[in-house]
């Protein structure tokens, strides 16, 4: 990013040129924006910072996520969004032949991303076994879908999961995430899936390889130690945990080293606070 467009900001935000934010539990919960999120995102964008959004939620397309932020009052474009659904489509393009047949346990957003990537989606695994079974969040999951996924995988279909998050934060409580459905399919098949989303570093590595994201000049902000923070530490990206989603301050106190954030924030507004040192968990390497 050209230095001449970079305006000064207060607090922790001024140390970085690029920001990668999780969505659920960081920017919003359900349909409600979290405190200070809209203001902080707009200030970062107005100051010339580069902002990306990285979500394991496979329920929507990148275009839908962009529209959702626009509705909250934040300028957004699909190219800023890195979703587990989109990343899964990219992975399968490398792993399978063009037009491969997929059985999908998932919602419209995942299916649209896979179709846009050129795959054929099937509603039955018989008589022809699909090339892969793809499992994401599916709030209409049924025993019949589980049985079909099991049959396909046991008869040679690849087992691919968009993510393994057991829960996600809704407006007033935690809800079962895609990982709960992935666990059901794994139990029924006694097979382990290839998991595409966080903390798999491949979800961000292409952006690092192209120089779009420079780890030392980037801050990753998430609400889960086992996905967001673990991913950041694997890629040597400075990271902050925000306490508006899943993980708690008590979780930080007993977390393994690879899941420790550099900073813990009560809300996104503290990115622009002056008391940076009081937020520090352990020094940035």
Query: 85-195 adopts what CATH topology?
Result: Rossmann fold (3.40.50)
Pick the catalytic residue from 22, 131, 223, 228. 22
**CATH 3.40.50.10490 correct for 3-56+199-279:** no
The percent of residues above 70 in pLDDT, for the chain, comes to 94
3-state secondary structure of 50: strand
pLDDT at 285: 43
3-state secondary structure of 95: helix
**CA-to-CA distance for 135 and 130, rounded, in angstroms?**
13
pLDDT at 206: 87
* 218-231 pLDDT tens trace: 999 999 999 999 99
84: its two tokens: 């587990």
Question: Catalytic residue at 22?
Answer: yes
Pick the catalytic residue from 17, 24, 165, 226. 24
**CA-to-CA distance for 212 and 208, rounded, in angstroms?**
6
pLDDT at 284: 42
Q: Which of 116-125, 147-156, 257-266, 271-280 is least confident? A: 271-280
**Residue 189: is its pLDDT beyond 50?**
yes
Question: Catalytic residue at 24?
Answer: yes
Please state the rounded mean pLDDT for residues 162-187: 94
**Residue 102: is its pLDDT beyond 90?**
yes
How does DSSP classify residue 258? Answer: G
Q: What is the mean pLDDT of the chain?
A: 93
3-56+199-279 and 85-195 have identical folds: yes
Q: Where are the domains of the chain?
A: 3-56+199-279, 85-195
241 near 252, Cβ under 8 Å?
yes
* 256-285 pLDDT tens trace: 999 999 999 999 999 997 544 445 555 444
Please state the rounded mean pLDDT for residues 30-52: 96
Residue with tokens 């001024």: 14
């Amino acid at each position: 990013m050209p230095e001449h467009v970079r305006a000064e900001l207060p607090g922790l935000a001024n140390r970085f040129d690029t920001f990668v934010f999780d969505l659920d539990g960081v920017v919003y919960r359900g349909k409600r924006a979290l405190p200070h999120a809209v203001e902080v995102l707009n200030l970062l964008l107005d100051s010339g910072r580069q902002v990306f959004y990285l979500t394991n939620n496979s329920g929507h397309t990148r275009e839908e996520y962009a529209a959702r932020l626009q509705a909250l009052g934040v300028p957004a474009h699909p190219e800023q969004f890195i979703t587990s659904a989109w990343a899964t489509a990219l992975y399968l393009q490398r792993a399978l032949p063009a037009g491969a047949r997929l059985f999908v346990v998932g919602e419209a957003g995942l299916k649209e991303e896979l179709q846009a990537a050129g795959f054929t989606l099937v509603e039955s695994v018989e008589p022809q076994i699909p090339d892969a079974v793809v499992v994401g969040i599916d709030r209409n999951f049924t025993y019949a879908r589980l049985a079909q996924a099991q049959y396909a995988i046991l008869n040679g279909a690849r087992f691919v999961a968009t993510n393994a998050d057991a829960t996600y934060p809704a407006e007033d409580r935690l809800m079962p995430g895609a990982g709960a459905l992935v666990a059901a399919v794994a139990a029924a098949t006694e097979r382990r899936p290839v998991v595409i989303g966080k903390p798999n570093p491949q979800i961000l590595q292409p952006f690092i390889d192209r120089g779009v994201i420079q780890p030392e000049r980037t801050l990753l902000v998430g609400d889960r130690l086992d996905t967001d923070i673990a991913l950041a530490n694997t890629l040597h990206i400075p990271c902050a945990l925000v306490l508006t989603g899943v993980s708690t301050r008590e979780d930080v106190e007993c977390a393994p080293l690879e899941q420790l954030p550099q900073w813990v924030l009560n809300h996104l507004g503290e990115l622009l606070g002056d008391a940076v040192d009081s937020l520090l968990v352990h020094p940035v390497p």
